[in-house]
Amino acid sequence: MFAIFKKLAWFFKLRWKTYALAIGGLTTCAILSAIIPLIIGGLVDSMATGTITWDHLIQQTGLLLGIGLLMYGLRYMWRSNLFGNSTLLEAIMRNRLFDHFTKMDQKLYGQYRTGDLMAHATNDLAALRFVAGGGIITLTDSLSITVVTLFSMIFIIDWQLTLFTILPFPLLIFVAQYLGKLINKYFRGSLKAFSDMNDHVQESVSGMKVIKAFGEEEEEEDYLDFVKETDNVVEKNKKVFRIDSAYTPVIDVITGLTYVLTIFFGTYFIQNGRITLGDLIAYLSYLGNMTWPLLAVGRLVNTMERGNASYDRVTDLLSEKASVVNDPNPVKNLEYNDLKVNINTFSYPDSEVEILSDIHFKLEEGDTLGIVGRTGSGKSSLFNLLVRNFDVESGEILIDNTPLNKIDMTELNDRVGYISQNNLLFSTTIRENIRFGRPNMTQEEVEYYAKVADVHEDILTFSDGYDTLVGERGVSLSGGQKQRISIARTLAMNPEILIMDDALSAVDAKTEQRILTNLREFCQKGITIIATHRLSSIMRADEILVLDNGHISERGTHERLLSLEGWYDNMFRQQQLDQKISESGEDNE
Ligand code: ATP
Ligand code: MG
């Protein structure tokens, strides 16, 4: 049960002063609260013997009042101290997690579900907060009250009475431990159920449009699945609470038993003259003081076990190593003049499937490379390697003859502009989206890049122009508008190597041609790599690779590929035909 304290030792060390202060306050409170029954007992005795005076009564009640006020002050002090600490712990762990999330590579996000990661960042951290705050309070409080009260019972009242009446207590410790283990087990189950449900919410909410499009049947099915999962969460939590609630009645029975024993032996000892009536009254009041710590131990077991489970989950996650890491002595300030790619084979981590094989090419300043191939042929996977989302294991990628994994990652991210297939915009204004990589850009600059990406005119049609909010709270952009804003965002970094992964799939052919013309001028000195399904957009590339199932099946210029009369030639004719048909359709309208 105390495992979690050991694990959190670093934090207690960090905040030892506040903890020492709080624990000191708590212990003083415990001692003060042990004085109260003695005062009352003394008063009862003087009443019983008829020796009580007004002065004595006023003095003693004044003392009671004073102690009460002092305890109030101390309680306030330790509470504010400890709760401050607990939120601090939560903040530290949250920052560590977030920092870790941003440092981790794609592999982690493939491995963990978003729902799991969210559960770590919310539930688990809350459980730790309880340990550092409520947990410590309960532990110190119950420990100091128990020690002080037991001490007073044994040494101030009577050791024999104490011996006979607290016999049932060891039973209690036994029960507490047993129930604690059960709670831990069920709590892990309930966390897992919560994770599953969280994941479902995440997926459904982000995919709700799609679900809607599939009609009522799918909605119904998704809903029923969700109900099953929430039922599971309820079921698992019920188990936790069932054990939790078994605890209190057990305590009641055990304390009830001690009261019975106390009345019996107490009366007997008074008759014997071993103790006075006042002693018995004080003793009963001590027993009352002991009940709270006993109940608290139950809550404590619960909090500690939860905290322990959560801490383990968070540290497991934090100990996940990124497989793609920056070199300890990274190479910086490269020119990005040439790119050599020699991939023998590539498989994704934890997978046997060979995704790419024998991909060799070389590009120099000003070159444009086109990459085409049917869906799933490995185009995006190749780009994943070029931007170092994953490392090549067999083979190498060189920029200016420096292996990619030796180049400073921040520089690489800056100098290699990658417009991915799933362009993601952030929930902020269009302006902020475009200058995301260079927040200090002026409005003129922002507009310049928007014009190159041919989206400036579109933006002007929105009522707030560049201030228009994107995303959930803002305007719904068309797929083509999103793509073009993503392009502007990447261009704004002035990358030396520009990679466009099917980045113009949602714009019409004419707009695409306009953007490509702009880009030719814009990227004159750099290297441009374009993957696309629309062959007309890479016709002018210096070289075109046709990927098939991860290897290069055809390569060369547009003219050469046509002369091969293979997949490319076939596809090109097909697309020309489609284009003509749709154009004639437009003419007839
Ligand atoms: P498209 O034209 O549809 O974009 P693509 O040519 O870009 O297709 P890739 O996305 O590179 O194709 O996919 C190639 C293969 O790699 C597919 O079989 C896919 O299932 C697999 N794959 C892609 N990403 C991952 C990943 N992160 N982990 C494991 N396998 C992956
Ligand atoms: Mg792709």
Q: Locate 545 and state its tokens.
A: 């690779």
Tokens 């990005």 -> residue: 336
Question: Phi and psi at residue 437, in whole multiples of 5°?
Answer: -80, -20
Asked whether residue 265 falls in the same domain as residue 355, the answer is no
Contact between 316 and 83 under an 8 Å Cβ cutoff? The reply is no
pLDDT in tens, the chain (589 residues): 678 888 999 999 999 998 898 889 888 999 999 999 999 999 999 998 888 899 999 999 999 999 999 999 988 888 888 888 888 999 999 899 888 888 777 777 777 777 778 877 888 898 888 888 888 888 888 889 989 999 999 999 999 999 988 887 777 778 777 877 787 788 888 888 888 888 888 777 777 767 777 777 777 787 888 889 899 999 999 988 888 888 778 777 887 888 899 999 999 999 999 999 999 999 999 988 887 787 777 678 778 888 888 899 888 888 887 778 888 899 999 999 999 999 999 999 878 899 999 999 999 999 999 999 999 999 999 999 999 989 998 999 999 999 999 999 889 988 999 998 887 788 889 999 999 888 899 999 999 999 999 999 999 999 899 999 887 666 778 889 999 999 999 999 999 999 999 999 989 888 999 999 999 888 888 999 999 999 998 999 999 999 999 999 999 999 999 999 999 999 999 999 988 888 777 665 5
Asked whether residue 346 falls in the same domain as residue 217, the answer is no
> Could you tell me the pTM of the whole model?
0.70
Q: How far is the CA of 380 from the centre of ligand 1 (A)?
A: 6
pLDDT of residue 31: 92
Q: How far is the CA of 414 from the centre of ligand 2 (A)?
A: 22
Asked whether residue 290 falls in the same domain as residue 347, the answer is no
Q: How far is the CA of 409 from the centre of ligand 1 (A)?
A: 23
Count of domains for the chain: 2
Q: How far is the CA of 532 from the centre of ligand 2 (A)?
A: 9
| 495: DSSP letter | -
CA 7 to CA 89: how far, in whole Å? 13
pLDDT of residue 1: 66
Asked whether residue 102 falls in the same domain as residue 181, the answer is yes
Question: Is residue 328, in this structure, part of any structural domain at all?
Answer: no
Asked whether residue 119 falls in the same domain as residue 174, the answer is yes
Closest residue by Cα to atom 22, ligand 1, is: 381
pLDDT of residue 246: 80
Tell me which of 289, 318, 347 is where a domain ends: 318
Q: Is the CB of 381 under 6 A from ligand 1?
A: yes
pLDDT of residue 323: 77
Q: Is the CB of 493 under 6 A from ligand 1?
A: no
Q: Is the CB of 355 under 6 A from ligand 1?
A: yes
pLDDT of residue 203: 78
* Secondary structure (DSSP) of 296-346: HHHHHHHHHHHHHHHHHHHHHHHTPPPSS---SS-B------EEEEEEEEE
Asked whether residue 262 falls in the same domain as residue 354, the answer is no
Residues, the chain, total?
589
Choice from 346, 371, 372, 381 to test ligand 1 binding pocket (greatest atom count within 8 A of CB) = 381
Tell me which of 267, 290, 318 is where a domain ends: 318
Nearest bound ligand to CA 549?
1
Q: From the CA of 381, give the closest atom in ligand 1.
A: 11
Asked whether residue 218 falls in the same domain as residue 353, the answer is no
The CATH number that applies at residue 161 is: 1.20.1560.10
Residues 6+ apart with CB under 8 A from 63: 39
Q: How far is the CA of 386 from the centre of ligand 2 (A)?
A: 14
Asked whether residue 231 falls in the same domain as residue 314, the answer is yes
Question: Is residue 125, in this structure, part of any structural domain at all?
Answer: yes
Asked whether residue 282 falls in the same domain as residue 312, the answer is yes
Q: Is the CB of 129 under 6 A from ligand 1?
A: no
Q: Is the CB of 549 under 6 A from ligand 1?
A: no
Q: Locate 561 and state its tokens.
A: 């590929």
| Radius of gyration of the chain, Cα coordinates, nearest whole angstrom | 36
CA 124 to CA 308: how far, in whole Å? 10
Nearest to 125 by CA among 352, 307, 301, 390: 307
Asked whether residue 93 falls in the same domain as residue 185, the answer is yes
Asked whether residue 373 falls in the same domain as residue 301, the answer is no
Question: Is residue 84, in this structure, part of any structural domain at all?
Answer: yes
| 122: DSSP letter | I
The SS3 assignment for 497 reads strand
Asked whether residue 347 falls in the same domain as residue 486, the answer is yes
Question: Is residue 407, in this structure, part of any structural domain at all?
Answer: yes
Question: Is residue 327, in this structure, part of any structural domain at all?
Answer: no
Question: Is residue 494, in this structure, part of any structural domain at all?
Answer: yes
Question: Is residue 446, in this structure, part of any structural domain at all?
Answer: yes
pLDDT of residue 225: 86
- Contacts within 8 Å (CB) and 24+ apart, 255-263: 255/287, 255/290, 255/291, 255/294, 257/168, 258/165, 258/166, 258/168, 258/169, 258/287, 259/284, 259/287, 261/164, 261/165, 261/167, 261/168, 262/161, 262/165, 262/287
Domain residues for the domain of 133 are 3-318
Question: Is residue 326, in this structure, part of any structural domain at all?
Answer: no
Tell me which of 318, 347, 362 is where a domain ends: 318
Nearest to 287 by CA among 265, 246, 256: 256
- CA atoms within a 13 Å half-sphere pointing along the CA-CB vector of 476: 1
